[in-house]
Structure 1
Amino acid sequence: MRRLFQLPVLVALLAAGFCLPASEPVHAQTAARGASGLPLPRFVSLKAQRVNLRIGPGRDYAVSWLYTRAGVPVEIIQEYDNWRRVRDADGTEGWIYQSLLSGERTAVAAPWKRNSGPDTYVQMHREARLNANVVAQLEPGVVVTMKECNGQWCKAETDGVDGWISQGEVWGAYPGEAFKN
């Protein structure tokens, strides 16, 4: 389950008199726009092989994490100047300089199933339907390149295999979101 706000942020927002109407859902990709003019939140991926995740928006802030693989999906949740506050599939948050991020969409196959047992797989189908032939079984945590999503299914590629994954089985696309890369 994904939280919209961490508790300290929610307390600060409520203290400032900000509240969301209970009757109106918050929709990703239609909410706020950041300093870049692009929607917040949004998914992107790491462009560089080595990326520092910092505790604040600047090089003077300490590094809290080092990513060592390009293509890892992250969700931009805030912008400040040329810095982007991101969250990864494990919920880790921090700041990354914008030039280290790519607009290429990637996703993680069901990261919430990582410790569910040895026979837990995400099915990649030949077509965008449950009864279509399975072309690959992905272990939870596998990173895939997203080609498109139609709101229910995402066409993805990993290790030279193309197929369709149920949109609810990936972290890297919002529920109901449709796009083409």
Structure 2
Amino acid sequence: MKKMNFVFFVVIFSLLTAGYANALCVSAQKASLRSGPGTNYGIAWEIYKYIPVVKVGVSLSGEWYAVSDVDGDVNWVHKNMVTSKYKCAVVDADEVNVRTGPGMNYSKSPSSPAKKYYSFKVLNKKGQWVKVKDEWGNAGWIHRNFLWIR
């Protein structure tokens, strides 16, 4: 019981102090988020390539990370499923237009609109516009206000 309380404290403390330094992106095509640090724990849900998460804790073995998502939910993911080598973004609005350039005067891209929770790799930024690429290689621009970037 003491071990569980300690893990809970570490996760909560880390949530309060987490920032971009702990930003991770799902690098695998699909990753299972689990209710605890190990395959013996149930799958809470599955996430896909380029979903951003924030590392808020580490298992005693160092193999599993407690991660917080765009909604603030905390679950566990194996460290081999995520990377900190690039930034990722997820749509944090019901639906958003993807543009061919960084501004409202550009036409919508063929992949527009992007629905809530669509994920992207961040390629570039220009002012308040973010150039993104999805897991299939489609690129476009989305206004920063509609993205959760980590």
Q: Tell me which interval the TM-score lies in, with the shorter structure as reference length.
A: 0.5 to 0.7
1:125: how far off?
A: 1.7
Cα distance in structure 2, aligned partners of 1:72 and 1:27: 17
Write 1 or 2 for the structure with the bigger share of helix. Answer: 2
> What is aligned with 1:16?
none
Instruction: Give the total of aligned pairs.
Output: 133
Q: Which amino acid is the alignment partner of residue 89 of structure 1? A: V
Q: Is the 8 A contact 1:155 1:163 kept in 2?
A: yes
Query: What secondary structure is seen at the aligned counterpart in 1 of 2:113?
Result: strand
Q: Which has the higher contact order (CA 8 A, sep 6+)?
A: 2
> What is aligned with 1:171?
148
**Percent identity, aligned pairs only?**
17
Q: TM-score, normalised by structure 2?
A: 0.66
- Structure 1 or 2, whichever has the larger Rg, is 1
1:87 aligns to 2:81 (yes or no) = no
Cα distance in structure 2, aligned partners of 1:28 and 1:53: 22
Q: Is the 8 A contact 2:49 2:119 kept in 1?
A: no
Match of 1:109 among 91, 97, 100: 91
TM-aligned CA distance change 1:60 to 1:141, over 3 Å: closer
**Runs (5+) with no aligned partner, structure 2:** 1-7
**Runs (5+) with no aligned partner, structure 1:** 1-7, 14-19, 21-25, 30-38, 114-120, 174-181
TM-aligned CA distance change 1:170 to 1:83, over 3 Å: same
Q: Is the 8 A contact 1:52 1:66 kept in 2?
A: yes
1:150: how far off?
A: 5.0
Q: Is the 8 A contact 1:45 1:105 kept in 2?
A: no
Q: Is the 8 A contact 2:53 2:67 kept in 1?
A: yes
> What is aligned with 2:125?
149
Q: TM-score, normalised by structure 1?
A: 0.57
Cα RMSD, aligned residues only:
3.2
Alignment of 1:20-169 (within 5 A): 28-29=19-20, 39-40=21-22, 42-47=23-28, 49-55=30-36, 58-59=37-38, 62-67=41-46, 69-80=48-59, 81-103=62-84, 104-110=86-92, 112-113=93-94, 121-135=95-109, 136-150=112-126, 152-158=128-134, 159-169=136-146
